[in-house]
Amino acid sequence: MVSDQTIILILVHPGVVTAESKARIAEAAFNGGPLGELVQWSDLISTLHILGHHVYLTASLPDLRHYFGVDTGGCPHFHSNPNLIYTDIIGLRQIKSVLKGPWFKYRCIIRVLDTFGTEPDFNHISWANKHKLASPFGGLNMIPLQFYTMFPHTPDNTFLGFVVQNQLMSEQSELFKSNKRQNQALVYGKRAEFWEGKTAYLDVIHKYLEIHGTVNNRNALPNYVKNHGIVKGTDVQALLRQSKVFVGLSFPYEGPAPLEALANGCAFLNPKLNPPQSSLNTKFFKGKPNIREIISQHPYAEAIGEPYVWTVDMNNLTEVEGALNAILNQTIEPYLPYEFSCEGMLQRVNVLIEKQDLCSSAASWPPLSALQVVKAQMSCKTACQKAGLICEPAFFPHLNNANTLAKNSVDCQTSEFSANGLVFPAYNSTQHCWFQSDPLLFSCVRSDESLTRVCPCRDFIKDQIALCKDCI
Ligand code: UDP
């Protein structure tokens, strides 16, 4: 828990749950609708409360007006300005519409929950318009680190994450011991349409295991499926504790459920996506402000790998059967990456609240001691990753001058500042250097074959990628 001096006032405005957003996400929650965002909001609110902050929640436009005193002639309800505001893209638009021009004074204290992330070129309104990247959720012109994602996607954004219910928590562990694992698979797919066209794949699994589902409508399911309907989170976990495999159907992408499966002792069968899916070729991602490609249903789980996660081509039934045999011939313990545990989430959010300062231009966190410069003809995301590090956009301004480059063995013969690219600072074969003149265009994820990028990388705590070793 934070000390008294650092208890702050936090406004939480989840736009997606307001009736005005028409997203109807709360209503759909009981009928197979998306739950990932709600999981993240409830984990965030719980975390802020446990850390001891004063949390004020607004869940409608009248609430928001009331909070800011817009309905009481400018007298704020709370008699004090928030130190931090958590919202989402819909909520940010609502804040702007309620406050009008003066919203700007809150600009740098806003954090925008953004499940799949916003890449800098999509965020920058004039760049996006000029390069035909305008999208319904882009063009917000925030600092890219203000977007808080569900998984560590682009390092240009901040990884917020969520908490995975862990059966090793004391009151759960007895229950776990009394539950014997059956010859059972649980299928990952709450809506009947996710199951369409997957019968041959499921038939192979059914040769070995009884198949269970938590599906909103059983009509389209193979006869052998034992369907429980949409159930409570704790019931999903109980089913996972009785099962040996959690079976992906290739959709939904990048949800919390596969991590819950691993944490409850199942292996996860993770379908490959071929061709890779992104907003350029996939309806689900269309309009999302990034072009990140995913090559399986759950890239984060894919990186965890065997023996926990088996990434397979669903159409190659021999491969599916091979993976299944391997899973049934192994014993695994429950697995939970630290960053998705309660403690990991509390640590991460606490450090972000105390140290991530997006209001001052001379930010001192992460500390420069964590900086490791890597030069490469590829994106900084990849270059840092290859060096066992992560790209840290907060360090871009520090690298963006000839003096710092010289200290890192780049002798710029000539140089210029430009806002015509997404890969600066960088240099070409004649040692001509380009520096970024628009800080909103610093980006970890883009590359230019003709240029060598100078990348700001940093280390990270194992299984806590948001934080460097000197960050806490
Ligand atoms: N879940 C649930 N009832 C069900 C099926 C799933 O409460 O019948 C929970 C599951 O335990 C997880 C959450 O729904 O915590 C989100 O699941 P998913 O990975 O499917 O993500 P989504 O696509 O809903 O965002």
* Judgement on whether residues 272 and 323 belong to the same structural domain of the protein: yes
* Judgement on whether residues 76 and 149 belong to the same structural domain of the protein: yes
Mutate to test the pocket of ligand 1, among 30, 35, 246 (most ligand atoms within 8 A of CB): 35
User: At what angle are helices 61-68 and 89-99 packed, to 10 degrees?
Assistant: 50
- Indicate if the pLDDT at residue 229 is higher than 80: yes
Lowest mean pLDDT, pick from 14-28, 147-161, 316-330, 371-385: 14-28
**Cα 359 to Cα 101: distance, rounded to the nearest angstrom:** 18
Atom 9, ligand 1: residue with shortest CA distance: 233
* Judgement on whether residues 321 and 419 belong to the same structural domain of the protein: no
Q: Kindly report the CATH number assigned to the domain that includes residue 183.
A: 3.40.50.2000
Query: Is residue 405 a part of any domain in this protein?
Result: yes
Q: Cβ neighbours of residue 461 under 8 Å, at least 6 residues apart?
A: 467, 468, 469, 471, 472
pLDDT, average across residues 312-339: 97
pLDDT at 24: 87
Query: Is residue 357 a part of any domain in this protein?
Result: no
- Indicate if the pLDDT at residue 14 is higher than 60: yes
Query: Is residue 358 a part of any domain in this protein?
Result: no
* Judgement on whether residues 187 and 310 belong to the same structural domain of the protein: yes
String of DSSP letters for 390-436: EE-GGGHHHHSSHHHHHHTT---SEEEEESS-SS-SEE-TT-EEEEE
Mutate to test the pocket of ligand 1, among 38, 113, 150, 190 (most ligand atoms within 8 A of CB): 190
The better pLDDT of the pair 284, 34 is held by 284
pLDDT at 179: 64
In which band, very low, low, confident or very high, does the pLDDT at 172 lie, cut at 50, 70 and 90?
low
DSSP character at residue 370: G
* Judgement on whether residues 150 and 203 belong to the same structural domain of the protein: no
Query: Is residue 345 a part of any domain in this protein?
Result: no
Report pLDDT digits (tens) over 122-141: 999 999 999 999 999 999 99
Split into its structural domains, the chain has a count of 3
* Judgement on whether residues 204 and 253 belong to the same structural domain of the protein: yes
* Length of the chain, in residues: 472
Query: Is residue 396 a part of any domain in this protein?
Result: yes
Please identify, by atom number, the ligand 1 atom nearest to the C-alpha of residue 237. 11
- Quote the domain boundaries for residue 47: 4-159
Please identify, by atom number, the ligand 1 atom nearest to the C-alpha of residue 35. 24
* Judgement on whether residues 32 and 82 belong to the same structural domain of the protein: yes
**Domain limit, last residue, from 335, 354, 387:** 335
Count CA atoms closer than 13 A to 356's CA, side-chain side: 27
**Helix (H), strand (E) at residue 187:** strand 184-188
Report pLDDT digits (tens) over 419-457: 999 999 999 999 999 999 999 999 999 999 999 999 999
Lookup: tokens for 270: 């993770």
Torsion of CA 160, 165, 169, 171, to 10 degrees: 140
Mapping DSSP to helix (H, G, I), strand (E, B) and coil, where does residue 256 land?
Answer: coil
Q: Cβ neighbours of residue 278 under 8 Å, at least 6 residues apart?
A: 285, 290, 291, 292, 293, 294
**What is the value of pTM for the model shown?**
0.95
pLDDT at 1: 47
**Domain limit, last residue, from 135, 159, 183:** 159
pLDDT at 195: 97
* Judgement on whether residues 207 and 321 belong to the same structural domain of the protein: yes
Count CA atoms closer than 13 A to 122's CA, side-chain side: 22
- Indicate if the pLDDT at residue 46 is higher than 90: yes
Nearest CA to 126 out of 116, 134, 118 is that of 134
In which band, very low, low, confident or very high, does the pLDDT at 165 lie, cut at 50, 70 and 90?
confident
Q: Are 376 and 453 in contact (CB under 8 A)?
A: yes
Mutate to test the pocket of ligand 1, among 236, 268, 300 (most ligand atoms within 8 A of CB): 236
- Indicate if the pLDDT at residue 77 is higher than 90: no
Query: Is residue 471 a part of any domain in this protein?
Result: no
pLDDT at 70: 87
**Cα 121 to Cα 111: distance, rounded to the nearest angstrom:** 19
**Domain limit, last residue, from 159, 176, 199:** 159
pLDDT at 23: 87
**Cα 357 to Cα 145: distance, rounded to the nearest angstrom:** 10
- Indicate if the pLDDT at residue 4 is higher than 90: no
Across all residues in the chain, what is the average pLDDT?
94
pLDDT, average across residues 29-40: 87
Q: Kindly report the CATH number assigned to the domain that includes residue 68.
A: 3.40.50
Lowest mean pLDDT, pick from 53-62, 167-176, 306-315, 328-337: 167-176
What distance in angstroms lies between residue 92's CA and the mean position of ligand 1's atoms?
Answer: 26
**Cα 48 to Cα 86: distance, rounded to the nearest angstrom:** 11
- Beta strand residue intervals within 217-305, DSSP E: 226-227, 245-248, 267-277, 294-296
pLDDT at 175: 60
What distance in angstroms lies between residue 232's CA and the mean position of ligand 1's atoms?
Answer: 9
Question: Partners of 10 in the beta sheet?
Answer: 55, 84
pLDDT at 17: 95
What distance in angstroms lies between residue 163's CA and the mean position of ligand 1's atoms?
Answer: 13
Query: Is residue 346 a part of any domain in this protein?
Result: no
In which band, very low, low, confident or very high, does the pLDDT at 31 lie, cut at 50, 70 and 90?
confident
Q: Report long-range pairs for 357-361 (Cβ below 8 Å, ≥24 apart).
A: 358/108, 358/109, 358/143, 358/145, 358/146, 359/108, 359/109, 361/397
- Indicate if the pLDDT at residue 2 is higher than 50: no
Lookup: tokens for 129: 């318009």
Burial of residue 394 (number of CB atoms within 10 Å: 0-12, 13-18, 19+): buried
pLDDT at 78: 56
Please identify, by atom number, the ligand 1 atom nearest to the C-alpha of residue 257. 19
The better pLDDT of the pair 44, 233 is held by 44
Q: How far is CA 101 from the centre of its chain?
A: 30
Alpha-carbon Rg for the chain in angstroms: 24
String of DSSP letters for 14-43: -GGGSGGGT--HHHHGGGT---HHHHHHHH
What distance in angstroms lies between residue 330's CA and the mean position of ligand 1's atoms?
Answer: 27
**Cα 183 to Cα 328: distance, rounded to the nearest angstrom:** 9
Q: What percent of the chain has pLDDT above 70?
A: 94
* Judgement on whether residues 202 and 254 belong to the same structural domain of the protein: yes
**Cα 214 to Cα 220: distance, rounded to the nearest angstrom:** 13
pLDDT, average across residues 101-121: 97
Mapping DSSP to helix (H, G, I), strand (E, B) and coil, where does residue 188 land?
Answer: strand
* Judgement on whether residues 289 and 437 belong to the same structural domain of the protein: no
String of DSSP letters for 350-364: HHHHHH---S-SS--
Name all residues whose Cβ lies below 6 A of ligand 1.
Answer: 34-36, 39, 190, 214, 230-233, 236, 252, 255-257, 260
* Judgement on whether residues 139 and 175 belong to the same structural domain of the protein: no
* Judgement on whether residues 150 and 270 belong to the same structural domain of the protein: no
- Indicate if the pLDDT at residue 168 is higher than 70: no
Query: Is residue 465 a part of any domain in this protein?
Result: no
pLDDT, average across residues 452-470: 98
ipTM of the complex: 0.92
Give CA separation, 66 vs 46, 53, 58, 78, 390, in Å. 23, 21, 9, 9, 42
